[in-house]
Structure 1
Amino acid sequence: MAPIEEGGFGRTLCVLTGASRGFGRALATLLARLLSPGSVWRQSWWRSTPGLRVVPVPADLGSDAGLQQLLGALRDLPRPEGLQRLLLINNAATLGDISKVFQTLSDPAEPFKGWTLYCAGKAARTMMFQVLAAEEPSVRVLSYAPGALDTDMQLLARETTVDLDLRKRLQDMKTNGELVDCGMSAQKLLNLLQRDTFESGAHVDFYDL
């Protein structure tokens, strides 16, 4: 899939979480080229980028204190002159503890054995985005599934997943070269956002593009 044009998102205030590694880092590298000079880039990690005002905010978004830290930083951030777009990409994620089965978890049937918290979180996010799209028609909302990525998170999954059959399947995916390159998936997401033809609130999978 061909990359979209440089500066294609115009002058943007962009917030990207989970940008320090894996899919988020690949996405940040590609996205930076699509922001016009004068854009403001807010994220947990990034290097200096010519023409962009980069404001890193190291924060643990799994805690209320970390979330409030990010929200406070956003409130204090001056809006760039001639702002054309506000882009929020919530990429920060965790598998939770996948070494335990459902009965041993304090939080509440999931497709992957041992992945109760992760799968429940994904399902909740999809519904939350659908509700947000219905309540805020002026906001474009997308839930993107990036595929089985070759990341540290996938390494953790294939080493600690409680179900041995699933663990072997994850290991086989790595051995057989079936894992998705982060850059390829990130490019698909950016092309999807640039075309902007998806239904707001939709769930789009990497493998369907």
Structure 2
Amino acid sequence: MLAILKKLFFLAMLAASASAYSAPKTVLVVGDSLSAEYGITRGTGWVALLEQKLKREKIPARIVNASVSGETTIGGRTRLPALLEQHKPDIVVLELGANDGLRGLPVASAEGNLRAMVSMAQQKNAKVMLVGMRMPPNYGRAYTESFFNMFKKVSLDTKSPLVPFMLEGVADKPALFQQDRLHPLAAAHPIILNNIWPQFAPLVKK
């Protein structure tokens, strides 16, 4: 009888482990217009392409895109607690800071907001990935370098993976931008996804 009970217990534990392993992860993307499909057809932005890629590769994950056009780091910081409570994500992708930079807001302020958001997510046992950005050179060398390096500092200090520059391979190609020269066309979003995937994949496959 004891042997049978042990076997039943083992099988139950095995089934529970298999269920936990196959349970889809929830991925929360908190970003600005670059993630909110501004000016392009719905379903053609990098977040939608990420969801499609996960399905093709049979990686169980649910994507929640909570990105808002015009969002700043303080806006994300304000919204994040409710988003964490509502969606209980396993992974949080923070794609914020570009609007802080474009408005010339203090880098220290944006850095503080990013650190606070990473801390909030980690306290809820979520893994965090940061998506970095560069500012155009007309903002001055001191500001642009400080802004760019901010993401690396937060990444290292919080042990969060970082995509250094989400527009790598896009920013230097004017033909890939809408008329405002700020927002990429749909044709650029597969390139953006290729920049993000190498850092994102290890998180979702764990």
With the length of structure 1 as denominator, give the TM-score of the two structures: 0.46
> What TM-score does the superposition give when structure 2 sets the normalisation length?
0.47
